[in-house]
Every structure is written in C-alpha cells, then in structure tokens.
Structure 1
Amino acid sequence: MSSSRERRELHDDIPEDGGVDEATALIAETTQRLAGIARRHNLEMLDYLLRMTHLEAEERLRLRSRRKLS
C-alpha cells in the first residue's frame, strides 16, 4: 500500500483550481493515454470504457467552447 506521502505527491500533479474546463481537458488527455495502455494489453472492456469517457470529455469541451464563442 502507498504511503500518504506518495499519495500526496501523486495528487500534486492534478490541478485543483483550474475549473471545469481544465478538469475536463485533463480527463480527456488521461483517458486517452489509459485507453492506449489498455489496448496494448488487450483489456478490451477497459479500452472501450476509457475511449467512451474520452469522447464524452472531448464533446463537453467542444460544447463549452462553442457556448463561449456565442
């Protein structure tokens, strides 16, 4: 099990004050990378779920940027 220090260091890389757009972009980027790992290891269901999550995050970013332009 990880120590609390290791867990804190892991969380230091995660932005907390960037708002919804930054969180959504981070989720899109992370799930895309994780889906690639799942695909390489033939984890088909994880790959599928991660790709769906990535698509959802990308769609939300697209819709939010469209609203901002209006």
Structure 2
Amino acid sequence: MTKPARKRTQAAAAGGKRSRSEEPGEGGADEAVAFIAEQVAHLRRIAERHKLDVLHYLLGMTQLEADEHIRLRSKRKLS
C-alpha cells in the first residue's frame, strides 16, 4: 500500500524563491564565518585526540582562514 500524497505548502510550492540572506537561521556571512570557526575548533580537537594529523593540520588551516576573515571584517567595520 502506498501513502496518500500530501499537499504541498504554499512556501514549498513557490519553489524556494527566498534569497540566501533570507533563509531562516542565517545571519549573513559574518555569522556564518563565526559559526564555521567555532565548529572547526571542535573538529580540530577531535582530530588531535585521535591522532589524525593531516585532518588536524587541514582543520587548523581552515580555522586560521576563518579567524583572519573575522579579523579583517571587524577591522573594516571600525573604519
């Protein structure tokens, strides 16, 4: 037996016409970079704990990049 078809909501039927900046829970690039930096720090500690040296290194580079982006964005906002 198959399940009865569900009616699509109006938002789903619209085809997702919202822009990225309007997505629920999305606060823009600055918030995204801060979130990524925080999550990468957690992942890096896990990689270090399990002696996953290459992942630890790559996650460290990612964390440096995210931190640099945050630093440059805050510097521009002060100007």
Name the TM-score class by shorter chain.
0.7 to 0.9
TM norm structure 1? 0.76
Given residue 64 of structure 1, which amino acid in structure 2 is its aligned partner? Answer: R
Structure number with the higher helix fraction is 1
Larger Rg: 2
The answer to whether residue 70 in structure 2 is matched with residue 61 in structure 1 is yes
Residue deviations 1:11-50, cap 9 Å, x none?
Answer: xxxx742000000000100001100000000000000000
Q: Give the % identical residues.
A: 61
Higher relative contact order (CA 8 A, sep 6+): 1
Unmatched tracts of structure 1, length 5 or more:
1-14
Residue deviations 1:37-65, cap 9 Å, x none?
Answer: 00000000000000110010000000000
Q: How many residues align?
A: 56
Instruction: Report runs of 4+ in structure 1 exceeding 2 Å deviation.
Output: none
Unmatched tracts of structure 2, length 5 or more:
1-23
Partners of 1:45 and 1:66 in 2: CA distance? 32
